[in-house]
Structure 1
Amino acid sequence: MRIVESVTYGKRGDPSRNEDGLFIGDTFVAVVDGVTSKCRLDLWHPSPGVVARRLLLAALSSADAGQPDLDMRGMLRLLDSSLRDRYGDVPDHPRGFFEAHPEERLAANAVVFSAARREIWLFGDCRAMVNGREIPTVKRVDVVLGDVRAMVGQLVGRADPDDRRRMLRELGLPTDRETVEEVDDGRRDVGREAIMPLLRLQSRLANRRGEFGYFVFDGYADPDWPVPVVKVGPGDGIVLASDGYPRLGRTLAESERMLADLRRTDPRMIHEVHATKGFMPGLRSFDDRTYVRFTV
């Protein structure tokens, strides 16, 4: 395989806090996306997503060096066990705690290319494109919650000041002048605050079959989950990316241009794109983002 271009950017501008990861080895190429924290406890430093990213990258490096012929099921078990094993090292919280409290787990998605098998494995909602054709990976639960956040954001955005305060009160949020100003200038995302209880409940759908269930590496992944596998051939052009690129282009420059356009036209991501979070002042983007393009 020949790497054409690759990059990983943290939304905070600090590489040590980037919850995305990029792995390029002799056999495997992968993008890892540590899940944004919804934890109530402060167990993982600097964040659950960073810890998950580091563990999965280390497992990928181990596989690349010692198990280059690993198949999709073997990779699933390897990556998931790297998170599960970490639960044995948390003071005052036995493994059973994480089984009962999924919102406190480490969690990550990944998309992996195996050169030995000429396959792409889509573990969760990371992105992939083959010869310009994107492979759909959006979770149904994210669509639903993105729509709810957009609805709240649109309602609050077009309300007059008195009505806006009533809405904030109904959502259980403060109605003081400072809060209202934060909502008005985009420093406070009312829509995301409205769906945050549901985002925490969402973790209970992880690795469960059903209409709203979804795959994620969290140490408790279903080893028989129907993971999408995409076969590729010699000469195929492949893009792997995290969902920090809501619109995926054939090149990095095109993907960056579409992201910049979105930030200019819909910074809260409640109109053109219904997402569970938007661009916030002071951050470089709405999420960490990673992109790699290569030819088989």
Structure 2
Amino acid sequence: MNCMTISVLELFNQGKLGIPEICEDLYVVNDHFVAVIDGATNITGNLIHGKAPGRLAAEVIQRVILEARMDVTLQELIADINKNLQILYEEYGILDDIKKCAWMAPTACLICYSHYYQEVWQLGDSQCMIDGQLHTNEKQIDDITANARALFLEAEIKKGKTIEDLLEHDTGWDYIKTLIQLQYYLQNDRDSQFGFEVINGFDVDFSRVKTIQVPKDAKTIILASDGYPMLKTTLNETESELQHLLQTDPLCFRQFKSAKGLQKGHLSFDDRTYIKFEIA
């Protein structure tokens, strides 16, 4: 058994609206796991029993990790999460709707440090830094939608719209929304050139889940959601990079191309979580 302990050095979690109850980023910190859970953005605007689908998925994942055995394997953990999501779908009577409209499924990404195995499990596009070495998990499909939105917004500006207009109403998001919805059909699809792994209550292809072995002499690990475009070795530096981006490219379509940008009245373009911890 690993006798080393986890000590949190820095932790920050904030929703794009600044309201904790609706933030779709959640996290876990205990003696056995450190995890960042990033619930998918609600693209329909519909709620499930008063909660956004991504928030619902994140809450299930958070609860299962908190209750998990310290020696639970990645496969066992995901199986337990999916079982709990399937129970929820049956209870709420939404399973048939999800099968017809895949984008209705509560969905989340997960990055989780297992202290027992000294591994980081990276399922989705959250980020990790181990003693200054960055580990990302970007997917091609995000580049496609981000570039399509950037192209559309550049054309909108050429036609006369201003950045301020687009912060009020992001027509670039409207333009790519169909592509975002179609992505849901490619989740956990091992046969598609654009397939990618998420947690949504259905089978995961573990051959495409990144497992990072933490070196025995590693001291500091950072886990973060993709609400941070640039991960740095301190929270202050990471926040400074984000705030600079929000000042210089608030729509996130030039310096940092994303499927979504800042909206007027929001604190950032996405929910965000940063956890820096030490293994001592």
| TM, length-normalised to structure 1 | 0.87
CA distance in 2, matches of 1:5, 1:47: 28
4+ runs of 1 displaced by more than 4 Å? none
Match of 2:54 among 49, 64, 74: 49
Instruction: Say whether 1:221 aligns with 2:203.
Output: yes
Instruction: Report the Cα offset of residue 70 of structure 1.
Output: 0.9
Letter in 1 for 2:84: S
Other-structure match for 1:76: 78
Pairing 1:241–2:246 present:
no
CA distance in 2, matches of 1:203, 1:272: 27
1:285 corresponds to which letter in structure 2? S
Q: Find the aligned partners of 2:163 and 2:131 in 1 and give their Cα distance.
A: 44
Q: Matched residues in 2 for 1:79 and 1:89: separation?
A: 15
Q: How far does residue 78 in structure 1 lie from its aligned partner after superposition?
A: 2.0
Quick check: which has more Rg, 1 or 2?
Answer: 1
Instruction: Confirm whether residue 20 of structure 1 aligns to residue 2 of structure 2.
Output: no
Report the identity percentage: 29
Query: Structure 1: which amino acid aligns with 2:268?
Result: S
Question: Cα 1:256–1:41, aligned 2, differ >3 Å: closer, same or farther?
Answer: closer
Aligned to 1:271: 254
| Paired amino acid for 1:203 | Y
Question: What's the CA shift for 1:81?
Answer: 2.4
- 2:147 aligned residue: 147
Count residues with an aligned counterpart. Answer: 272
How far residue 44 of structure 1 moved from its aligned partner, in angstroms, is: 4.5
- The CA deviation at 1:234 is 3.6
- Whether the 8 Å contact between 1:127 and 1:242 is mirrored in structure 2 is yes
Aligned Cα root-mean-square deviation (Å): 1.7
Of residues 209-218 and 72-81 in structure 1, the stretch that sits farther from structure 2 once superposed is 72-81
**After the TM superposition, which residues 100-119 of structure 1 pair with which residues of structure 2 at under 5 Å, given as runs?**
100-119=100-119
CA distance in 2, matches of 1:293, 1:71: 23
TM-score by length of 2: 0.92
Deviation of 1:31 (Å): 0.2
CA separation of 1:262 and 1:249: change in aligned 2, threshold 3 A: same
Deviations 1:14-65 (A, max 9, x none): 10011000110110000000000123754342211211111111111111xx
Quote the residue 2:170 is aligned against. Answer: 189
1:182 CA displacement: 9.4
Whether the aligned pair in 2 keeps the contact of 1:8 and 1:291 (CA below 8 Å) is: yes
* Letter in structure 2 aligned against 1:135: H
Please identify, of 49-58 and 280-289, the stretch whose mean Cα deviation from structure 2 is larger: 49-58
After TM superposition, give the deviation of residue 202 of structure 1 in Å. Answer: 0.9
Q: Which residue matches 2:16?
A: 11
In the TM superposition, what whole-angstrom CA distance separates every residue of 1:199-243 from its partner, at most 9, and x where no partner exists?
111100100123211111010132534211111124331110000
How far apart, CA to CA, are the structure 1 residues paired with 2:251 and 2:264?
10
* Conserved? CA contact 1:44–1:51, under 8 Å: no
Farther-moved stretch of structure 1 (214-223 vs 102-111): 214-223
Distance 1:279 1:159 in 2: 21
Distance 1:78 1:225, change over 3 A: farther
Q: Residue 223 and residue 86 in structure 1: after superposition, are their counterparts in 2 closer, same or farther (change >3 A)?
A: farther
Q: What is the CA–CA distance in structure 1 between the aligned matches of 2:205 and 2:245, rounded to whole Å?
A: 37
CA distance in 1, matches of 2:146, 2:205: 28
Cα distance change, pair 71–54 in 1 and its aligned pair in 2 (3 A): same
Which residue matches 1:178? Answer: none
Confirm or deny: 8 A CA contact 1:45 1:51 kept in the other structure: no
Contact 2:40–2:108 (Cα < 8 Å) also in 1: yes
Instruction: Specify the SS of the correspondent of 1:253.
Output: helix
